[in-house]
Amino acid sequence: MAALKINEDIAVQAVEWYFSLKESPQDAELQRSWKAWIDSDQTHYQAWLKIEQFNQELGSLANPISKTLTHKSVTLENKNRRQLLRSILAIAFVGAGGGIALQRHQLFPVMAADYRTGKGETRQITLNDGTRIELNAESAINVSFSINERSLYLLTGDVLIETARGEAARPLVVYAAWARFQPLGTRFYIRSREQDGLLAVYEGAVNLWQTDQLHFSPLRIESGQKLVFDQNGLSELMAAESSDLAWQQNILVVDAMFLSDFVKELGYHHHGWIHCDNSVSQMRVSGTYPLDDIDRVLRALTTSLPIELVYRTRYWITLKAKSKN
């Protein structure tokens, strides 16, 4: 049978399952959830085979590089070990014959990013020039400083940036899929996830230029302003809101958000898989929700919307229309 194309989402799910199982090998319910995921779709099975195949190949190699990699994976601190292993596993999918149909956010660059966060994780970073960065969950950036420019590449996710002072001769430029940004003495927030982008400026100003993905005239966004990018293009200027940064307090604030989009947001903070059935995907959600207890949030939804939760396991949840029985 010919190998199936493995898209990016399934590849990421397979890698996440790998790390979840490694971290909790005695969790019987997690094992059942993983088995259900494997059995539910042939491409899931193919993705898992790719990980197992790569692990076997790596373990059987006798060259010094493979020995060094596997030795480092054991001796490094847990966070660094996890990042290294993610990078190694990503090679299993993007290497020759990997079979992945990569989409906008390519798997390997995200897994091998200079700084990244996992599900439910935020991270604060101070760069060499003094620029301060905070990443939301499931976010990744690369950093490249030269004598002419300080470059940040937002591969995916959300980042709050407070620029360093005294570097006017070496501008900071931030690159994302949907735009290029140059801050001017600034504290600002950028979001870039699939067909979803946002720029909010809280101090100073940010110059904004087009990319190959999105064409528009250069813009200057002042303090207190924001704009949104989606499948319809750029929005009109709006007032920047502190609620856009609610993730810093582990909170999600939404106003008439589609349930499918809301579930996607919850997924960045949930170890497992949450699926929204098409029959309820266009329902609207508003309110303030804690991100440290996703099960509680889902239960609350069933009291405000005509939906029900189907738990295949604790890690595999489907939202669907409430039965009329």
Which backbone phi and psi does 232 adopt, to 5 degrees? -95, 0
Domains held by the chain: number: 3
Residues 237 and 121 in one domain: yes
- Residue 266 to residue 268: CA distance in whole angstroms: 5
- Residue 4 to residue 101: CA distance in whole angstroms: 10
> What is the pTM (predicted TM-score) of this model?
0.73
1 falls within a domain: no
- HSE, side-chain direction, 13 A CA sphere, residue 90: 19
How does pLDDT run across 169-223, given as a tens digit for each residue? 788 999 998 888 999 988 999 999 877 899 999 999 999 887 766 666 788 999 9
Residues 137 and 229 in one domain: yes
On average, the pLDDT of the chain sits at: 81
- Residue 123 to residue 115: CA distance in whole angstroms: 9
Report which residue type is found at 127.
Answer: L
How does pLDDT run across 32-42, given as a tens digit for each residue? 888 888 888 88
**Is residue 131 over pLDDT 80?**
yes
Residues 291 and 268 in one domain: yes
Q: What is the CATH number of the domain that holds 140?
A: 2.60.120.1440
Q: Which domain holds residue 53?
A: 6-112
Residues 174 and 206 in one domain: yes
44 falls within a domain: yes
